[in-house]
Structure 1
Amino acid sequence: MTDEPGNLKRALRAELRERRRIRTSTERESAASSLTEHLMQLATDLDVHFMAAYLSTPDEPNTRDFLRWADERGIRILLPVSREDGLLDWAPYDGADEDQDILGMPTPTSELLGPIAINGVDLILVPAACVGRDGMRMGWGRGYFDKTLGSMEGCPPVYAVIYDDELVDEVPTERHDMPVDGAVTPGGITAFAHD
């Protein structure tokens, strides 16, 4: 039996990683401005008071301007910190110093909270390599967010933050992959209907 979805994912991830790497700074800045507006709209529409999000890396769509906006409005924000066991700890956003977790992802230096700290949030923003029009999310292959979302009871709305060209017709999926409720791109907000 071949690992066809796994092989397709690896090839697609490599292509998407390269596409992100070669985006110009002008493209990134233009995308960041409209993406921030759409994230603000989503948080307002959903009346968010407490959310889980993440600090974007230079190659990812920019979440940082939105996080500053949300923090200024008193929205409580938790950010993920990767653990050796494949789970995520959470730390409050404070807009101050940053460190890196075991995967080299940016994290806050605030107090570390356990995996269940995310329970009770109104919205979860997740990174993604791409999202299919059926709402299936393809991450970067480590499974942290799939595990987190799969273990939550009463999961709030989950939106992936991606570039417009990363909203695709379909993505290769495996049994453990978790769908998202929507995608936020520089071009707008897309909500998916799940059966």
Structure 2
Amino acid sequence: MPREQTPSTGQDKTALRDRISAARRGRPLPVRAEVARAITEHLLAAPEVRRAATVAAYVAVGSEPGTALLIEALRASGRHVLLPVLLPDGDLDWAAHAGDEHLRPARLGLLEPEGERLGPAAVAGADVVLVPGLAVAPDGMRLGRGGGSYDRALARVPVGTFTCVLLHEDEVGLDVPREPHDRPVTAAVCPAGLTRF
């Protein structure tokens, strides 16, 4: 279901999304690979991730900072990884990641796990929740792609859970337009390091 927004806030969000998406598309593949490697190193070194038993993550698509290396490292270290499954209403269900051979193409170019669906509330049991985004404000307010899927998921996550958006350096600390349904994250990671809010 679409989220209600004021015309000016909606236009501001669209303009910022367009600008960031264009910049991402312009990044060369070697730069994208380095971004994914650096983000993986920073997250694996974070105390919250080191002590986590369950991590809710996602399979990056398009020009998003890559997550394949990170997910592989999390699974190799014995962590239980949950991946989202996009529901018809735009909400997110979750399933355990059993390996790349068990991912299947889904709507909007996403890759989703084939396993048993655990329900939208499963994200509340994760020790760490990693989310996609396009930008984050200095107070942790995140700009997503506009569907509201992750705002709904973040609303289910208990206060105090480490929630982190994966970005590029120039996407951290921006003036992000906000609406009442928007949910902040507690941290952002980019190749330069981890920022906690």
The percent of aligned pairs where both chains have the same amino acid is: 37
> Which residue identity lines up with residue 145 of structure 1 in the other structure?
Y
| Larger helix percent | 2
Matched, 1:140 2:156: no
Q: Distance in 2 between matches of 1:50 and 1:153?
A: 14
User: 2: distance between equivalents of 1:44 and 1:138?
Assistant: 23
Structure 1 runs of 4+ with >4 Å offset: 43-46
For structure 2, the residue ranges without an aligned partner over 5 or more in a row are: none
Task: Specify the SS of the correspondent of 1:173.
Answer: coil
Does 2:42 align with 1:38?
A: yes
| Residue in 2 that maps onto 1:127 | 132
Aligned-partner residue type, residue 10 of structure 1: T
Q: Among residues 10, 13, 17, which one is paired with 1:9 in the alignment?
A: 13
- The one-letter code of the counterpart of 1:4 is S
How many residue pairs were aligned?
A: 192
Q: TM-score, normalised by structure 2?
A: 0.91
Query: CA offset at residue 126 of structure 1?
Result: 0.2
Q: CA RMSD in A?
A: 1.8
Q: Of 147, 150, 154, which aligns to 1:149?
A: 154
* 2:83 alignment counterpart: 79
Alignment partner, residue 50 of structure 1: 54
In the alignment, which residue of structure 2 is the partner of 1:21? 25
1:72 Cα deviation after fit: 0.7
2:186 is the alignment partner of 1:189: no
Native 8 Å contact 1:5 1:173 kept in 2: yes
Gap change, CA 1:113 and 1:165, over 3 Å in 2: same
> Alpha-carbon deviations, 1:68-120, whole Å to 9, x = none?
11101110010001101221111111223221333321112222221122222
What does the per-residue CA deviation read over 1:112-161, in whole Å, with 9 as the maximum and x for residues that have no partner?
A: 22112222210100000111111100000000010111234446211001
| Secondary structure at the counterpart of residue 116 of structure 1 | helix
* Cα shift at 1:185: 0.6
Preserved contact between residue 82 and residue 103 of structure 1 (Cα < 8 Å): no
Give the 5 Å matches for 1:83-98. 83-97=87-101, 98=103
Partner of 1:110: 115
C-alpha displacement of 1:2: 5.3
